[in-house]
Structures are given as structure tokens and as C-alpha cells.
Amino acid sequence: MSDNGNLLTVTDDNFAAEVEGAKGLVMIDFWAAWCGPCRMIAPDVEQLADDFAGRARVGKLDVDSNQKTAARFNVRSIPTVLFFKDGKLVDQLVGANPKRVMQAKIEAHL
């Protein structure tokens, strides 16, 4: 994970507080350890957490351990990256998108 602690670990238990209760933009990567494309984008997600520290929050949610939240947002394919602004879902990306695509989505919603 991110060396400086900017990357959030989001779970079913803390989703309401960390994402829905957050002011501003939160990007959540829905992933699983067995998912090759998820592992492929993981370094980019971690870098975005560092790049946008103080301006947007970036986190990861393991869909195997947190099925309730994944089902609630109809996450059927991973990686899926959801973008929340002031607690409301505003955008999403499905699949292994390049860092620049995720970065553009963050910037569009800041």
C-alpha cells in the first residue's frame, strides 16, 4: 500500500463514514487479490492517493471481504472504480483503465 498512508482501506463497516460521510471527492477501487487487472492498476491507484492527498481521498475495497457494499453498488466486474462527491455516486470506470483516465475523472469532479 501507499507508504505515506494516503490510501484508504474501505470496508462494509466503514463505508458510510469514510465515503458517504466525506466532504469532497472520494475515489474507491473495488478489487480482489485474485484479479490480474486489479493488480495491474493498483500502483496507479496508490500513486493517485499520493498525488491528490489533501484534495481528494482515494481508497480500495476488497470485494471478496466486503460483498455487501459491492452488491449495493452493483459491482459485477472488477476492477470497478467509483467516484463519490459529498457522499453521492457521481461517476464510475469499469476495467483496467490507465492512470491518466482515472486522474482525468478525479480532476473533472474536484
For the question of residue 48 being annotated catalytic, the response is no
**Model pTM?**
0.95
Residue 94 counted as domain residue: yes
Predicted confidence at residue 77, as pLDDT, reads 97
Q: The domain spanning residue 90 has which CATH number?
A: 3.40.30.10
Q: What is the domain range of residue 90?
A: 7-109
Task: Give 79-102 pLDDT, tens digit per residue.
Answer: 999 999 999 999 999 999 999 999
Total domains present in the chain = 1
For residue 1, pLDDT over 50 is answered with no
Q: In this predicted structure, what is the pLDDT of residue 3? A: 52
Q: Does residue 101 belong to any structural domain of this protein?
A: yes
pLDDT value, residue 54: 96
Catalytic residue among 25, 35, 49, 82: 35
Whether residue 109 contacts residue 85, with contact meaning beta carbons closer than 8 Å, is answered with yes
Is 2 within a domain? no
Q: Catalytic pick from 27, 38, 63, 106?
A: 38
Sign of CA dihedral 63, 8, 102, 41: negative
Whether residue 1 is contained in a domain is answered as: no
